[in-house]
Amino acid sequence: MKKLVLFFLVLISIQFSLKAQQEPFHKFAPLPYAYDALEPYIDKMTMEIHYDKHHRAYYTNFIAAIKGTELENTPMETIFANMSSYAPAVRNTGGGYWNHEMFWNCMKPNGGGVPAGKLGDAIKSTFGSFDEFKKQFAEAGVKRFGSGWVWLTVNEAGKLIINSTANQDNPLMNTETLRGVPVLCLDVWEHAYYLKYQNKRGDYINAFWNVVNWDFVQSGYDKAIARKQ
């Protein structure tokens, strides 16, 4: 009987070990909500295409770009910190994979409103008011030539800044001039809004404030500030 129990324990241990070996270090996370959960601000079809086509393609191509290298088991933040050392394919696909995952978490159904707590205080002290922050953030998005992202970032001095990056770059990459820990992001590639808003990027940015997940942003801000202390 003891031998039989020992046999099953060994078998279970092997199964768990094999499963752990099969699961990739970098994973494609499920969308945090249904495709239509952010309507009417972001439509269902855009979410389906954006998440299941664009985001998934970035992930798939990123995994292909790092296959057989140490990056297969390297945290994304470490990869970004050394991005200048890697091929453009890693930069473009890795950024696209990670940026989109953050973007989904920056939104939620019935989101929006005004951030409170330490984040709200920091926004007011930095930009003068929440409305002024939204204005500057929107301007950064509208003025981004071509495709890219807008970020609210805790810079290396522990202060909030608004910055914009081209293509799939982000403030964690050592290829950026304005670096720091991003806590809020907005995708301003045309595929993020064109089906509903066409060329009216400003309308899309205004709609974004109705779905912002300030709880997620606050959590990211708290972690970023704690790292500076």
Q: Which residue has the tokens 């109705």?
A: 210
| pLDDT tens-digit readout, 84-137 | 999 999 999 999 999 999 999 999 999 999 999 999 999 999 999 999 999 999
Of the candidates 221, 222, 207, the residue with the CA atom closest to the CA atom of residue 112: 207
In a domain, 168, yes or no: yes
Q: Is residue 64 situated within a structural domain?
A: yes
Question: Which range has the worst mean pLDDT, 10-24, 141-155, 195-209?
Answer: 10-24
pLDDT score of 16 more than 90: no
pLDDT in tens, 33-70: 999 999 999 999 999 999 999 999 999 999 999 999 99
| CA distances for 148 relative to 23, 99, 123, 176, 221, angstroms | 31, 10, 23, 13, 22
**What is the rounded CA–CA span in Å between residue 133 and residue 113?**
13
pLDDT for the residue 1:
53
pLDDT given for residue 8 in this prediction: 43
Tokens read off for 176: 């950026």
DSSP letters along 92-149, please?
HHHHHHHHHHHHHHTB-TT--S---HHHHHHHHHHHSSHHHHHHHHHHHHHH--SSEE
From the number of C-beta atoms within 10 Å of its C-beta (0-12, 13-18, 19+), residue 71 rates as: buried
| 25, part of any domain | no
The string of pLDDT tens digits covering residues 177-223 is 999 999 999 999 999 999 999 999 999 999 999 999 999 999 999 99
pLDDT at 22: 62
Q: State yes or no: pLDDT of 15 exceeds 70.
A: no
In this structure, what CATH number is given to the domain that contains residue 57?
3.55.40.20
Does the structure show a pLDDT above 50 at 9? no
Whether the per-residue pLDDT at 19 is higher than 50: the answer is no
Asked if residue 13 is part of any domain, the answer here is: no
Q: How far apart are CA 165 and CA 171, in angstroms?
A: 8
Counting the structural domains of the chain, the total is 1
Identify the three-state secondary structure at position 152.
strand
**pLDDT attached to residue 18:** 38
Q: What is the pLDDT of residue 224?
A: 96
Q: Is residue 152 included in any domain, yes or no?
A: yes
Quote the domain boundaries for residue 139.
42-229
- Residue 24's pLDDT band, with cuts at 50, 70 and 90, is confident
Domain-embedded: residue 27: no
* Cα four-point dihedral sign 121, 159, 78, 136: positive
Residue with tokens 């606050």: 218
Q: Is residue 9 part of a domain?
A: no
With a cut of 70, say whether residue 2 has pLDDT above it. no
Query: What would the mean pLDDT of 170-177 be, rounded to a whole number?
Result: 97
Please compute the mean of the pLDDT values over residues 135-157 and round it to a whole number: 97
